A and B are shown apart, each in its own frame.
Chain A
């Protein structure tokens, strides 16, 4: 390595400002941002949604949606030369050549109609003079380096044949093709399951160490930061609020916002005291089985996919049962079967002794009230054309409640979930994600249910909002003695709110026990691998923040 490289940082961002179009919620997406990235270092840029962390990366890669969003000031120096003032052709050779990027969503980042090998070969063709045969050899070599099995065969595969984790590996191989100096990774593991996330993080760390690249890793998850960061930059509303070595920021955060963010990170070692089960079980699921028929038509046979097999589970009044598993494990299938959105093929679901599956439409109707659901996506779960008050009141009205009374009750419930009185007259789009989720909870409570099925209720929310919604759910559960089935992919969240945990894998429950048992003495190998994959488990949230959090409860 030559000396000038040590003096000049690989990337030097000075006073970067990015302007949003007029009418946006703030004038600048990124406001006077200054940081450096050195060779052989991982810089984690952390922030919640809308903090401008991705915008910074996009500015570097020329991906800003011009002309609406543009760089308003500052400079982006790559090895001392300003990327923003370079001629377009030079910028292009930098991108993909010297600076490469890995995107968040592996499912859409690959061209579905192009073979994997050709997609990786594209940047080699663009930036090198390698002949086709050598390109091909390099592609296979790259695929092997990112740990994909049968690289030669895989190079000829189309993206749809690969899993999410495999696609993300292909994306990384593509980024590495020209041996870049800087790798920008924009939430590369957010869309992945926790065990896959761990593998990808390990891979990224290994590759970075081996090639001494400078890496800018964008994430919202402090667990991930604790896993891989050398240095950390915390962003909020487009401004840099804290910047320093990873150990300092993680263990001795200075800025109040960083402290608040770290305090709201759910931590898996905290689990609840054992719940004392009382009375007859509220809900018993017995050997529930559901097979989906995929594809098929008039002349084609459909393919059976087992979403749930032999699922048995008991929920007592006041108990919160967590259903934990990775995507496709069948956890939502069970939840939806209980609220009657899906009809299982066999098994029994007993609610206070009555088999819900044996009832017809009319017979099931009274039970609709008693079992309510909180949905995952706060942006899709509220009808955009209805007023919030109507949304909450619609259920009781459908059950014959007087409309005026139902609306009055809706206002009370909205107040109960922490929204002010005027909320009832507004439309969903005027609310933030966390507020919408509160509306969804109020809608479920309006029916006066005994059991609440919450399907990933916080997975679409930022971590600080996540904490608030979880607290609200917990508070309501205690006040109304509600039983809850809490479906989540995040073990840290499950640890926080669940009394009993059922771990699902490929349509089966592989472990069922109290939260304490499952987290301290997991019996099943899969549960152990899930616990092992939790990012940042070696990091302990600073004690002063832990106590601050305990007091807030």
Chain B
């Protein structure tokens, strides 16, 4: 019953449905990359600088004769992987700290929030660049760096939710019936605060993909993983001779981020009880 309500509210937002369709297509592309484009995307497939629609390279090839289409398909894996894992890591850090701060309040809250502000005062991207540069670029360090720079907003959000839910009567009832703090946090408050957190997490996946692309563009990507940011970065010197080298990966990023934002907005409509009209 609640589930069908959710889908009805989600489907009311046409953009969200479109976003979901695009996102599904990208996920399918990533999942079947090795079937659609067997072989290493780093390998030479055809002659260098082939324009789109040429033999062996439907979207053209780069200066080393690598297939752009294959790069985009394999790059989708890396982008989605980094987007999802770094968001998951940021969620783990942010929600834990925010929940503790919001639930306990007082000194614990003060301490955690000052710590959070410390991270918020440093520009995200600069910190990510520094972290990746120090710990040598690899998928793990990139994910870790993106997670480290993106958890503070989630912590603030979780804290605000916990602060307001903590004073609600059902939480007080849980206290008077002798439930432990951890059970109150995990079973009573967390499920009720998930909606806004899910919404901002879905948007954060998009930000993480952009961050990874920016890092790769600067040459701080994982040297063994083909990624959209790396492809654009490599293409920038030859953008006038071979526009397809940067346009197609760029389009892939735009579409993915757009799809994620549309889905996030749809989730917001469906999960936010203030907007969902069907609930009452």
A binding-site residues for B, Cβ under 8 Å: 21, 23, 68, 339-341, 365, 368-369, 371-373, 375-377, 380-386, 394-395, 398-399, 427, 429, 440, 443, 446-447
B174 at the interface (CB under 8 A from A): yes
Would you call B279 and A447 a contact (CB within 8 A)?
A: no
Complex-state Cα separation, A365 to B188, whole angstroms: 19
| CB neighbours of A384 from chain B (8 A) | 192
| CB neighbours of B277 from chain A (8 A) | 21, 68
| CB neighbours of A443 from chain B (8 A) | 173, 177
Would you call B176 and A381 a contact (CB within 8 A)?
A: no
| CB neighbours of B174 from chain A (8 A) | 383, 394
Would you call B179 and A395 a contact (CB within 8 A)?
A: yes
Would you call A368 and B177 a contact (CB within 8 A)?
A: yes
Residues 244-280 of B, flagged 1 when their CB comes within 8 A of A and 0 if not, give 0000000000000000000000000000000001111
Q: Which residues 150-200 of B sit at the A interface, judged by CB distance below 8 A?
A: 168-170, 172-180, 183, 187-188, 191-192
> Among the listed A380, A429, A447, which residue makes an inter-chain contact with B177, where contact means beta carbons less than 8 Å apart?
A447
Would you call A340 and B176 a contact (CB within 8 A)?
A: yes
Residue from B2, B176, B178, B192 with most neighbouring chain A CB atoms (10 Å): B176
Would you call B178 and A369 a contact (CB within 8 A)?
A: yes
Complex-state Cα separation, A536 to B278, whole angstroms: 40
Min CB distance A539 to B, Å, is 35
| CB neighbours of B172 from chain A (8 A) | 341, 373, 375, 381
24 contacts between A and B (CB under 8 A): A68-B277, A340-B175, A341-B176, A369-B178, A371-B176, A373-B172, A373-B173, A375-B169, A375-B172, A376-B169, A381-B170, A381-B172, A381-B173, A383-B174, A384-B192, A386-B187, A394-B177, A395-B177, A395-B179, A398-B179, A398-B183, A429-B280, A446-B177, A447-B178
Would you call A373 and B192 a contact (CB within 8 A)?
A: no
Complex-state Cα separation, A447 to B179, whole angstroms: 12
| CB neighbours of A398 from chain B (8 A) | 177-180, 183
Min CB distance A162 to B, Å, is 25
| CB neighbours of A385 from chain B (8 A) | 191-192
Nearest B residue (CB) for A390: B187
Complex-state Cα separation, A504 to B280, whole angstroms: 36
| CB neighbours of A380 from chain B (8 A) | 168-170
Would you call A341 and B175 a contact (CB within 8 A)?
A: yes
Min CB distance A368 to B, Å, is 4
Q: If the complex has contacts A23-B278, A398-B183, A429-B279, are A381 and B177 also in contact, measured as CB distance less than 8 A?
A: no
| CB neighbours of A369 from chain B (8 A) | 178
Nearest B residue (CB) for A430: B1
B binding-site residues for A, Cβ under 8 Å: 2, 168-170, 172-180, 183, 187-188, 191-192, 277-280
Min CB distance B95 to A, Å, is 16
Complex-state Cα separation, A427 to B279, whole angstroms: 13
| CB neighbours of A373 from chain B (8 A) | 172-173, 176
Complex-state Cα separation, A280 to B188, whole angstroms: 38
Complex-state Cα separation, A240 to B244, whole angstroms: 73
Nearest A residue (CB) for B190: A385
Would you call B176 and A383 a contact (CB within 8 A)?
A: no
| CB neighbours of A341 from chain B (8 A) | 172, 175-176
Would you call B176 and A372 a contact (CB within 8 A)?
A: yes
Complex-state Cα separation, A443 to B188, whole angstroms: 15
Would you call B179 and A394 a contact (CB within 8 A)?
A: yes
| CB neighbours of B191 from chain A (8 A) | 383, 385
| CB neighbours of B180 from chain A (8 A) | 398
| CB neighbours of A440 from chain B (8 A) | 173
Would you call B178 and A365 a contact (CB within 8 A)?
A: yes
Would you call B278 and A382 a contact (CB within 8 A)?
A: no
| CB neighbours of A340 from chain B (8 A) | 175-176
Would you call A368 and B178 a contact (CB within 8 A)?
A: yes
Would you call A383 and B178 a contact (CB within 8 A)?
A: no
Min CB distance A171 to B, Å, is 26
Nearest B residue (CB) for A383: B170
Complex-state Cα separation, A341 to B180, whole angstroms: 14
> Among the listed A377, A395, A429, which residue makes an inter-chain contact with B178, where contact means beta carbons less than 8 Å apart?
A395
Pick the 9 closest A-B CB pairs, nearest first. Answer: A395-B177, A381-B169, A368-B178, A375-B169, A385-B191, A383-B170, A398-B179, A380-B169, A398-B178
Q: If the complex has contacts A375-B172, A394-B174, are A383 and B179 also in contact, measured as CB distance less than 8 A?
A: no
| CB neighbours of B177 from chain A (8 A) | 368, 372, 394-395, 398, 443, 446-447
Min CB distance B196 to A, Å, is 15
Min CB distance A364 to B, Å, is 9
Complex-state Cα separation, A383 to B185, whole angstroms: 12
| CB neighbours of A395 from chain B (8 A) | 177-179
Q: If the complex has contacts A384-B192, A385-B191, A398-B183, are A368 and B176 also in contact, measured as CB distance less than 8 A?
A: yes
Nearest A residue (CB) for B175: A341
Complex-state Cα separation, A21 to B278, whole angstroms: 11
Min CB distance B186 to A, Å, is 12
Complex-state Cα separation, A376 to B172, whole angstroms: 12
Would you call A339 and B176 a contact (CB within 8 A)?
A: yes
Nearest A residue (CB) for B189: A383
Min CB distance B5 to A, Å, is 11
Other 12 A-B pairs with CB < 8 A, given A341-B176, A381-B173, A383-B170: A68-B277, A368-B176, A377-B169, A380-B170, A381-B170, A382-B173, A383-B191, A383-B192, A386-B187, A394-B177, A395-B178, A427-B2
| CB neighbours of B173 from chain A (8 A) | 373, 375, 381-382, 440, 443
Min CB distance A365 to B, Å, is 6
| CB neighbours of B168 from chain A (8 A) | 380-381
Min CB distance B189 to A, Å, is 9
| CB neighbours of B280 from chain A (8 A) | 429
Min CB distance B180 to A, Å, is 7
| CB neighbours of B175 from chain A (8 A) | 340-341
> Among the listed B170, B178, B183, B192, which residue makes an inter-chain contact with A399, where contact means beta carbons less than 8 Å apart?
B178
Complex-state Cα separation, A281 to B274, whole angstroms: 48
Q: If the complex has contacts A375-B172, A394-B174, A398-B177, are A383 and B278 also in contact, measured as CB distance less than 8 A?
A: no
Min CB distance B272 to A, Å, is 14
Complex-state Cα separation, A384 to B192, whole angstroms: 8
| CB neighbours of B178 from chain A (8 A) | 365, 368-369, 395, 398-399, 447
Residue from B172, B175, B177, B180 with most neighbouring chain A CB atoms (10 Å): B177
Complex-state Cα separation, A447 to B173, whole angstroms: 12
Complex-state Cα separation, A68 to B280, whole angstroms: 15
Complex-state Cα separation, A330 to B178, whole angstroms: 25
| CB neighbours of A399 from chain B (8 A) | 178
Min CB distance A373 to B, Å, is 5
Nearest B residue (CB) for A339: B176
| CB neighbours of A447 from chain B (8 A) | 177-178
Nearest B residue (CB) for A381: B169
